[in-house]
Amino acid sequence: MSDGAEAAPALKTIGQRLPRVDARERVTGEARYPADLALPGMVYARLLRSPHAHARILRIDTTRAAALRGVLAVVSAADFPELPVGAMIPMGEVGYDMWMVAQINIARRKVHWVGQPVAAVAAVDPHVAEAALALIDVDYEPLPAVLDIASAMAPDAPVLHDHVFTKGIEPRPRTPGNVCSRTVIERGDAQAALKAARATARLSVQVDTAHQGYLEPQAVVAQVDANGFATVWASTQGQFTAELMIAAMLGLPASKLKVVPMEIGGGFGGKIAIHGEAAAVRLSQKCRRPVKLVLSREEVLQGGSGPPAAALIDVAVGAGEDGRLLAITGNYHLDAGGLPGLSPSLVMQASAALYQCPNLDLQGYDVVTNKPRTEAYRAPVGIQAAFAMEQAMDMLCQQLGMDPLDFRLRNASVTGSTMPIGTPFPSIGLTTILERVREHPCWRDPVPEGRLPRGRGLALGYWRGTSMTSAGHITIAGDGRPMVTMGAVDLSGTRTTMAQVVAEEFGLSIDDIHIHTGDSKSVGYSDGAAGSRVARTMTAALVEASRDALAQLRRRAAEKLQCAADQLDYASGMFRARSGGAAISLAELMQATLTDGAIVGRGVSTKLPLGVEIGAHVCDVEVDDRTGLVTVQRYTAFQDVGLALNPAAVEGQMEGSVVQGLGWALTEGFDYGPDGRLRNASLLDYRMPTALDVPKIECVIVETPVPNVPYGVRGVGEVPIVPPAAAVANAIARATGVRITRMPMTPERVLAAIERARRGKV
Amino acid sequence: MKALLNCTVNGAEHSVLADSRDTLLDLLRDRLGLTGTKEGCGNGNCGTCTVLMDGAPVNACLVLAVEVPGRSVFTIEGLCTDGALHPLQQALVEHGGTQCGFCTPGIVLAAKALLDENPRPSEAQIRHAIAGNLCRCTGYGKIVEAIAAVVQEQSR
């Protein structure tokens, strides 16, 4: 394994702005997503979903549906083995509880949100399948529902799960409740330090649920052959994770199932867990036909997939006369939806990590409510935390009369300073980023004058990311070209950047590399594409695989050239004897040794050092103080990416991520009615940014390589969604003097805040 | 109920047995196997299924199949017949204007409709022309750059 220093010699392919190797099939529409598949004899599935936010299922009778002409199979929870709470499969820090995954896919005994699947049907065409849903008889006993964090935590609140006793509280509670866990990060005495501080700022924010907004709804085709072997063509962030989940839900041995990852039309965290795949396989087993299930957009939004968490966050920060931070306190309540959610720990770390601060008191609570079970969304809960913390820091700067950039520089975490979890920071470039902000026109130029109030905001973002396992292998074709199979799906240009890595290792052109993602039976286990881990860890795996393949080729070349293997030089597809000048190309070598068996270079990366992501964003807004409309006029994102494998791909990740953040910041929020039904379950009423709503996002790439990671690569894709809401809020505050504490910052909410402030002044 | 429809898609005549409930999108994807046109929402809000009907961009999910006879439909499959990419496709490739690719066919056709109508649009006109096409991956910047590059190349 190399270290960051190895990136110093001139790189030929890595670092180039190359187009995506898979771009051609995308612009021609030839790229195949699961919904594009049609198999002989294929039938169509639909899911019956709960109309209640909270209810006991008393009876499910599928007799009438099964009798409808054209219906081939109907399944409900009774058709799946019951999994105990805590049946874990690996993925991420803590893995996935299969009891929860099963509930997300098909409810048993109770429903916990509107839209939770209750039954599934397969029929000869989608119209018949739809008609059959109305013939499935389900008797419910409706129960009182809780739809927000505060009512879920009320002393007399209806309890969602009898087995949930709050973890992290001593003594263990004697009755079940809706708070699943409490997490604490403490350092020093933050409350005392806050009291003694020269300046303090406090802020409470509320963040509405949003959605990942991938354009491709979940889709799957499942086929079970005569021997009972199931093939699942899926739109998934991880073919191995999907396989583990489907196998557990069906009680299938791993050798009886493979998941083929098709092109994925956006995931952003929402396609890690399965949403209907196991039901499609069960239906296919029952009716002996290939089964296609494609969710509608309304299903995707209403509860057929997991949105990210709503949050209530209270923070307080204090600093001394010199502008040095003395204390950070925070209470983080995350709304997990109908089943226990992500640990609040990551978000608590994220919001405090970028500041050196002697006293911390952070407490996080994971709360269940009768809404769709939440899933990850790009740096999960990072934007919510930054919306609170980065506004509080800005308020503190205003209290101190200090420039927000100077304040950040004074308190910035540096390599070796202590992270919130108590360990030293690995190599980070925060101060470098901040110096780059200071020099840049986006910060230096005055805010342009306008007819309406304008302001500029600065906000930072941190995301830890993860590493986990990536595997790949490389065979060599008869013409000497490397054929790469990797275990990670391509969410963000992975095929392109990994082809660049292999081209670099082999000294070949990227056009000489063939690369694809393997199915779950044709490549080594890899964790899902999540947590900004794939580019970094797959680089490590494919560097290892390339060197393994080259070592095998070297032995063959030595034999052919009749010299010792260590007397050969390799460069640009050619082995050359150091003395005598004999040489053989990879193509000649493969032709000469075609009958000697396959060259297979193998690589795997586990537990690679983290490539923490850090960004600083600067945003200019104009606020129409008569309508509350906020227009983003200029946006610049600075980010330390370690080393940009492909700057165009890096910018693509940053620009897309920022615009998702701006969407949530300004317009994207779920509107639940009192019955737990989503009132804006369409892409007209759930308002994502269009090309008219956002400016061109400027990107400034900083490169501080991560030691002991091949080429020094960091995660890229997640952190740019973290600062935007806070950057916009800070800009609004500088423009109007008003703090917006509810996200999204819709015109209605901004105007109300401005009017409240006006009334307060009168 | 099924009906026999005669329609013209990408210049070719087809006779297709379609369900009276089928949309143009169903007709293209399920009956003709032209899956380059993708479905993102099914109710005209995302623009993913944009095709050209008599040269004008429409959401194929909002047109009934029975409305198609007598009209000329043009899809992404019609754009690149001899293996060479259309300049808009080439520009999207070169400028990083496609990521997950799901919105891309619709964006290409919306942009083609714009340039057919107005060969020298401003950036604002480009943004307006694709405002009905949601993209969740790119943030639009590189798509707008790609279209602007084609405009610049063609105005030389």
Give yes or no for a contact between B47 and B113, defined as CB atoms under 8 angstroms apart.
no
pLDDT band at A95 (very low <50, low <70, confident <90, very high): confident
d(CA B39, CA A129): 19
Residue A4 pLDDT > 60 = no
With H, G, I as helix, E, B as strand and everything else as coil, classify residue A158. coil
- Tens of pLDDT, residue by residue over A457-467, are 999 999 988 89
In 10 A of CB B55, how many CB atoms?
A: 11
pLDDT value of residue B1? 81
d(CA A452, CA A629): 11
- Express each pLDDT in A695-725 by its tens digit: 999 999 999 999 999 999 999 999 999 999 9
Question: Residue A323 pLDDT more than 50?
Answer: yes
Contact A692, B128 (CB under 8 A): yes
User: What string of H, E and C letters represents the secondary structure of A508-542?
Assistant: CCHHHCEEEECCCCCCCCCCCCCCCCHHHHHHHHH
Query: Once rounded to an integer, what is the mean pLDDT over residues A84-104?
Result: 86
pLDDT of residue A217: 98
My answer on whether omega of the bond before A171 falls inside 30° of 0, hence cis, is yes
A23 to B93: CB separation less than 8 angstroms, yes or no? yes
Say which of B77, B96, B100 has its CB closest to residue A648. B96
Rounded to a whole number, what is the distance in angstroms from the first to the last CA of chain B?
A: 53
SS in 3 state form for A129-174? Answer: HHHHHCCCEEEEEECCCCCCHHHHHCCCCCCCCCCCCCECCCCCCC
- First CA to last CA distance, chain A: 67
B90, B102, B137 ranked by CB distance to A33: nearest: B102
- In this prediction, residue A2 carries a pLDDT of 41
Task: Count the neighbouring beta carbons within 10 Å of the beta carbon of residue A323.
Answer: 19
Mean pLDDT of the residues in chain A: 95
Residue A497 β-bridge partners: none
CB A474 within 8 A of CB A542: yes
B149 backbone dihedrals φ, ψ, rounded to 5°:
-65, -40
Residue type, A641: V
Q: How many residues does chain A have?
A: 762
User: Average of pLDDT values for B62-78?
Assistant: 97
User: Which residues, in sequence order, are bridge partners of residue A61?
Assistant: A137
Q: Please identify which residue in the block is written with the tokens 């804006």.
A: A680
Give the whole-angstrom CA distance, residue B91 versus residue A203: 46
Answer with the residue of higher pLDDT: A160 or A350.
Answer: A160
Q: Do B92 and A214 touch (CB under 8 A)?
A: no
Tokens encoding B29: 């994807």
B6 touches chain A (CB under 8 A): no
**Strands of the B72-74 sheet, one edge to the other:** B12-19, B2-9, B72-74, B50-53, B56-59
Residue A665: its H or E element: helix A647-666
The answer to whether the beta carbons of residues A309 and A335 sit under 8 Å apart is yes
For A477-512, how does the pLDDT look when each residue is reduced to its tens digit (9 = 90+)? 999 999 999 999 999 899 999 999 999 999 999 999
ipTM attached to this prediction: 0.98
Q: Can you tell me the distance from the alpha carbon of A115 to that of A47, in angstroms, rounded to the nearest whole number?
A: 9
Integer Cα distance of A615 and B1 in angstroms = 57
| Rg (alpha carbons) of chain A, rounded to whole number | 27
Residue A580 CB-density burial (10 A; 0-12 exposed, 13-18 middle, 19+ buried): exposed
**Sign of the four-CA dihedral A752, A753, A757, A758:** negative
pLDDT of res. A5: 44
| Span A512-548, pLDDT tens digits | 999 999 999 999 999 999 988 999 999 999 999 999 9
The pLDDT, as a whole number, for residue A6 is 46
pLDDT digits (tens, 9 = 90+) for A283-319: 999 999 999 999 999 999 998 889 999 999 999 999 9
Q: Which residue(s) pair with A576 in the sheet?
A: A569, A583
Structure tokens at A483: 């054929």
Q: In this complex, is the C-beta atom of B17 within 8 Å of any C-beta atom belonging to chain A?
A: no
Closest by CA position to A227, among listed A263, A200, A252, A264: A252
Confidence category of residue A241, pLDDT binned at 50, 70, 90:
very high
SS3 state of residue A183:
strand
- CA distances to A67, A128, B1, B80 from A71, rounded to whole Å, are 7, 7, 18, 40
Instruction: Report yes or no: B98 at the A interface, CB cutoff 8 Å.
Output: yes
Mean pLDDT over A549-577 rounds to 97
Which tokens go with A369?
Answer: 């409510």
What is the pTM (predicted TM-score) of this model? 0.97
pLDDT range class, residue B143, cuts 50, 70, 90? very high
**pLDDT score at A237:** 97
Residue A725 CA to its chain's centroid (Å): 17
Name the closest residue on chain A to residue B128, using Cα atoms.
Answer: A692
Looking up tokens 């600062």 gives A723
B56 phi, psi to nearest 5 deg: -100, 140
Residue range A9-35, pLDDT digits in tens:
689 999 999 999 999 999 999 999 999
- Do B80 and A28 make contact, defined as CB atoms within 8 angstroms? yes
DSSP code for A672: B
A432 HSE (CA, 13 A, CB side): 15
Of B33, B36, B39, the CB nearest to A29: B36
Q: According to the model, what pLDDT value does residue A92 have?
A: 63
For chain A, say whether B131 makes contact (Cβ under 8 Å): yes
Minimal C-alpha gap between B46 and chain A (Å): 7
Q: How far is residue A201's CA from residue A333's CA, in Å, rounded to a whole number?
A: 20
Rounded to the nearest 10°, the torsion over CA A336, A658, A648, A538 is -20
* Banded model confidence at residue A350, pLDDT cuts 50, 70, 90: confident
Distance CA A437, CA B19 (A): 59
Mean pLDDT across A188-203: 98
In whole angstroms, give the CA distance from residue B77 to residue B69: 19
* Angstroms from A26 CA to nearest CA on chain B: 5
d(CA A123, CA A139): 23
d(CA A735, CA A620): 9
CA atoms within 13 A on the CB side of A133: 17
Q: State how far the Cα of A665 lies from the Cα of A472, in Å rounded to an integer.
A: 38
The sign of the CA dihedral A269, A274, A276, A280 is: positive
- How far apart CA A353 and CA A341 sit, in angstroms, is 22
Contact by Cβ (8 Å): A265, A214: yes
Q: What's the number of CA atoms in the CB half-sphere (13 Å) around residue A740?
A: 32
Q: Is B50 on the interface with A (CB under 8 A)?
A: no
Q: Is residue A68 within 8 angstroms of chain B, CB to CB? A: no
Question: Does B146 touch chain A if contact means CB atoms closer than 8 Å?
Answer: no
Distance CA(A657)–CA(A720), nearest Å, equals 5
Candidate from A264, A660, A692 with C-beta closest to B100: A264
